[in-house]
Chains A and B, each alone.
Chain A
Amino acid sequence: MIKRILFLFFSTIFLITLISCNQNLQKTRSFTLKMPDVAPGAKKVGSQACADCHEELVQNFKSNVHGRIIPGETAIGETGCETCHGPGSIHVDSEEPSKIINPDKVDAVAASSICLRCHTGDEHQNWNGSEHALNDVSCVKCHKIHNNHNQALLIKKEPDLCYSCHQDIKAKSYYPTHHPVKEGKMVCSDCHANHGSVLNNLKTDERLNDLCLKCHTRYQGPFTFEHSPVVEDCTICHEPHGTVANNLLKQNEPFLCLQCHDLHFHTAIQSPNTAGMPYLNPNTDTSKTNQILEKTKNVRTTQIFMGTKCTTCHSAVHGSELPSLSVPSHGRGLTR
């Protein structure tokens, strides 16, 4: 708790310092974050000059959030067409398209840097250095600013937008077990930080497991009786994009479990019919009870019981607060 209070205290002090320096900081931003220079010497002419030729674009721009923001909201203290397209005087005079910034025509780094002049924080904090940025997937590859009524100005809705490049993930999302993405109940950006993050483009500042635990909080624990791979990394056993096996498991039980655990001894032997685990041979035993076994002839009873699904008995596989019955396993059998 003391750490938390100190944390809040120093954050507040830092914030106050920043606010007191704000006026000086504001001046440095547009100097630091320069626009691509496509028309050296151009000056600002105002949005009305743009409307003279691009009447429809400017008219429709009112429906766009960029057309409603106020100067104080942006990190550079400006709004209007030239905030993104740069000074337009030479373009207006010459009517030359190359003399105005078109994010579609400049290189990916420059195109994104236009947006980053304002979209600097929150989820955009780690854009530079992100996978999309390094692969030159600039902002305008996914967002269409003009004449677009989609949410977040996306070119297409999720997940179709993401699937247009990530086809392999699309294929997995159609497997028998999947998160409800194709049903429209989840989108890629529920888990993925498309604008970059500190951890593999996932929406978490902590560990991968913490992302999963946001929705699967019942496995948050921390448990008294824990299962080590669950603690280590959810993706040791699960493939979150989709699997053939149930519960997004990478493989069916028991094969998944057997990669780290040995098979219980009973599964390796035919159950004796005299001791411990009775086994009735339907070919020799004519008692009434064989009427059931007729349907399961030659079944090796214990082998089938213990060799099919490990979680039938070890049902608390994500961790438990109740000890198992057998003391020599120190209660860690994860059976309750």
Chain B
Amino acid sequence: MQKFKIILLMFFCVALSMPLIAGDKESYNSIKFGAFLQGDDDKLDRVAEYQEDKSSPTVNFNFKTFNNNSDLYVNGNYEGEYTNSIEAKGNLMRIISVDLDYSSLFHRKDYDTLFIQYDKNNFSPAVATGKVPFVNSPDGKVYGINKFIADDTVTSPGGQWYGFEQDSTAVNKDYYIKRRELLTKVSFAIPGMETLKLNFSGRFENRNGYEHKTVMVGKCTVCHVRGLRKNVDETTRDLKAGFSFTGGPVYFSYSHMYRDFYVSNKPLTTTFDNIEGLRSSKPDKYIVFSPRLNSETYGGTEEVAKTPESDKHMDTFKLRLDLPYYSTFAASYTTSTITNNDSYGGDNIDLDQDALNLRFTTHLLKRKLTLTTKFRYLKLDRDTVHAELEKDDAYYFQPDYSTPVNFKGVNYNYDMSKAYYYNDINQPVIFDIEGDSTYDRKEYQFGIDAVYRMLRNKLKFRLGYEYENIDRDNYEVYPNHKKTEKNKIKAGIDFKPFMKFSGRFKFEYTNIDDPFAKPKAGCIAVTSASQLKYGGGGKAAYPLVYDRRTYTGSASPSEIYSYSLNLNWLAAKNLSMNFIGKYTDSENNEGNTDWNYDGLTLGFDGTLMISEKLSFSFGYNFEKADTESKISVGLYAG
């Protein structure tokens, strides 16, 4: 924050001196005072997400001064201690241009507590037995677990068979983020060649506050979830430098951006369930779970909710060529690398991205016909990651379901009727993980649009076509399908039958072959129940169930029909009315879930101008959206 203040101060010293040095000047100033009040029957984070308080005075001021070739503009807003902004723009002798914008925002973070609140007077917690997890909070209320009663004894700091808001620090607290952003932009025009500019810009964003995090602290998620209060102190710093030049019909620019994202808050930790507890109290479960758990967390205090630090380098090259017949050729090429400096495996993870964009537009038949065509190529490549999960030999043994496990002198047989098994009997548990990414792909896009103005300003037709191809290297959207193809056609008509009435109707149809989806998402294809059982087991076993998942789930459409209508009516000299209607029908008939989306928007608004300084605006909007999808529910007991 101190840095921000110093930069602000320096800027104002320089900027304010510009018009004073230049002498003869004119100014326009204004200041406005106000206040706001917020009612809150519900929690503030539900009804006033971006307000830091229920009420506050507000102040806004504008200051603008200029002379022949220098100017300064300052605009400030105050809406509370953490909700304010100031923007300043200045230009000195048309050589140096400075733009500075500081703003801060208070963002309340809504969250779902794991517990409901009980009145202490009507509640007798069984503290002595340790069977009822609860938290005695400073406000005198008791926060007990609301949906589940444990049958086990609390034996370790993390506790077993229950979840809770850790140490009551997460209960009834405020969760919020204070976001501060400073944007600076400086541009130097080279005297004598003012169309050559050196551009520098910076962006500093800091997010500071608290957010609610839930985390699994044991294998059996249901009861081993804990709520934590995480301190957040994250900063993004973007620095950009480059040049631009306009020489006759040619525009050319180059810039390099460096982004640095770093985390200043302390790592959040929590104590995980101790496998010993399970081993001693439920050995039959232990012998099943133990070899399947990443032992890094057993009973220890480990980091959770980690945000990795990263950086990004991006180079951008832009070219535009103006040609006769109002024609333009535009090209841009961007190459960037994002690096995760904080990966689990220890090695940096790079994501390389290259994007080439080309566009040509021309106007023919005395500007009655516009044709534009575009092409886009994108390539993404992420490093293959390698991570080794922790295997503690003290707890690990290779499962052999035919042999009893000896534990403290007692032999335990695998009870096939319980069927807790995750892995195929003959497959070892994998701790070394090699992973390719969904990022890895090549994308191609091509599009053409034509606009024909049959009767200038009165009747216009539009036609368009777009093609897109996403060729993924690794991720299968459907079994053995890695490629997505999209075809889109657009048609529209603009009409103005009368001077005071105009409208526009648009239709779009999109067909997507193999849209993004998750294959093997659920549903089981078997002809007899025994196919899901091991040996003489009585219940379905996990690995067999997982192997037989057949349906593909998706929230992306394979067909979209979209219609929109806009009507504008100048009802009187001082009354204008607009109407909008929009309907979208999407469906996915390639997956197995009969996914369908219908969206309807209807609305009108109008403006009535009583006088030059007094006008009334009114409007009404109606929106309805329905999404329908089959879901898969596994009817098997673990």
Contacts and interface: CB of A to CB of B under 8 A. Distances in A.
A and B: bona fide binding partners: yes
Interface of A: 3-4, 7-8, 11-12, 14-15, 18-19, 21-22, 24-29, 32-33, 62-63, 65, 68-70, 72-75, 107, 109-110, 113, 116, 120-122, 125-126, 128-129, 133-136, 149, 151, 164-165, 167-168, 170-172, 176-177, 180, 183-185, 198-199, 205-207, 210, 214-215, 217-218, 220-226, 228-229, 231-233, 236-237, 246, 250-251, 255-256, 258-269, 275-278, 280, 288-289, 291-293, 295-296, 299, 301-302, 304-306, 309, 311-313, 315-316, 320-328, 330-331, 333, 335-336
Interface string B239-259: 000011111111111101001
Nearest to B396: A327
B433 A223 contact: no
A134 B370 contact: yes
A277 B132 CA distance: 15
Contact of A126 (B215, B330, B385, B605): B330
B621 A260 contact: no
B412 interface: no
Contacts of B340: 220-224, 321
A69 B361 contact: no
A140 to B, nearest CB: 14
Given A8-B256, A125-B320, A129-B374, A330 B631 contact: no
B521 to A, nearest CB: 6
B400 interface: no
Interface stretch (B6-14, B146-154, B167-175, B403-411): B146-154
A223 to B, nearest CB: 7
A206 B355 contact: yes
Contacts of A33: 249, 322, 326
B585 interface: no
Report, nearest first, the 10 A-B pairs whose CB atoms are least far apart. Answer: A25-B248, A262-B522, A129-B372, A171-B621, A262-B632, A198-B357, A128-B361, A72-B194, A121-B251, A11-B254
Given A7-B317, A129-B359, A168-B621, A149 B332 contact: no
22 contacts: A32-B322, A72-B194, A125-B332, A129-B374, A168-B580, A185-B103, A199-B357, A205-B355, A207-B353, A224-B349, A226-B438, A231-B438, A258-B629, A289-B131, A315-B214, A321-B340, A322-B304, A322-B306, A323-B387, A327-B294, A330-B433, A331-B387
A305 B216 CA distance: 13
Given A221-B310, A321-B342, A268 B578 contact: no
Interface string B621-638: 101000101011111111
Contacts of B549: 262
Interface in B411-444: 418, 422-423, 429-431, 433, 435, 437-439
A153 B451 CA distance: 28
B316 interface: yes
A209 B94 CA distance: 37
Contact of A68 (B71, B437, B504): B71
B574 to A, nearest CB: 16
Given A22-B248, A113-B326, A323-B344, A262 B236 contact: no
A29 B357 CA distance: 24
Given A262-B522, A262-B549, A331-B433, A70 B69 contact: yes
B526 interface: no
A139 B148 CA distance: 62
B619 A128 contact: no
Kindly name the residue among A25, A29, A62, A223 whose own CB sees the greatest number of chain B CB atoms within 10 A: A223
A324 to B, nearest CB: 7
B621 to A, nearest CB: 4
A276 B629 CA distance: 32
A260 B131 contact: no
Contact of A259 (B338, B351, B355, B555): B555
A170 B344 contact: no
B601 interface: yes
A267 B631 CA distance: 13
Contact of A109 (B91, B306, B363, B621): B363
A26 B251 CA distance: 11
A220 B349 CA distance: 12
Contacts of B522: 261-263
A205 to B, nearest CB: 4
B231 interface: no
B189 A73 contact: yes
A316 B305 contact: yes
B345 interface: yes
Nearest to B131: A289
Contacts of A151: 73, 75
B297 interface: yes
Main SS at interface, chain B: strand
Contact of A224 (B66, B192, B344, B578): B344
Given A11-B317, A265-B636, 10 more contacts: A72-B189, A116-B322, A128-B359, A129-B328, A183-B51, A185-B85, A198-B357, A205-B355, A260-B554, A321-B306
Contacts of A121: 244, 246, 251, 253, 318, 320
B266 interface: no
B50 interface: yes
B296 to A, nearest CB: 8
Contact of A289 (B126, B249, B296): B126
B313 interface: yes
Interface string B51-84: 1000000000000101011010101010000000
B147 to A, nearest CB: 5
B66 A328 contact: no
Contacts of A330: 430, 433, 435
Nearest to B386: A224
A141 to B, nearest CB: 12
Contact of A183 (B50, B218, B318, B439): B50
Interface in B216-275: 216, 218-223, 225, 234, 236, 238, 243-254, 256, 259, 261, 272
B277 to A, nearest CB: 15
A302 B150 CA distance: 12
B514 interface: no
A120 B68 CA distance: 24
B213 A315 contact: yes
Contacts of B315: 4, 7-8
Contacts of A75: 195, 246, 248, 251
A125 B75 CA distance: 29
A295 B146 CA distance: 9
Interface string B370-402: 101010101000110101010000000000000
A304 B145 CA distance: 13
Interface in B319-345: 320, 322-324, 326-328, 330, 332, 334-336, 338, 340, 342-345
Contacts of A236: 516, 555-556
Contacts of A73: 94, 189, 194-195
Nearest to A246: B110
A327 to B, nearest CB: 5
Nearest to B320: A125
Contacts of A15: 243, 245, 252, 254
Contact of A312 (B112, B151, B635): B112
A223 B150 CA distance: 36
A156 to B, nearest CB: 11
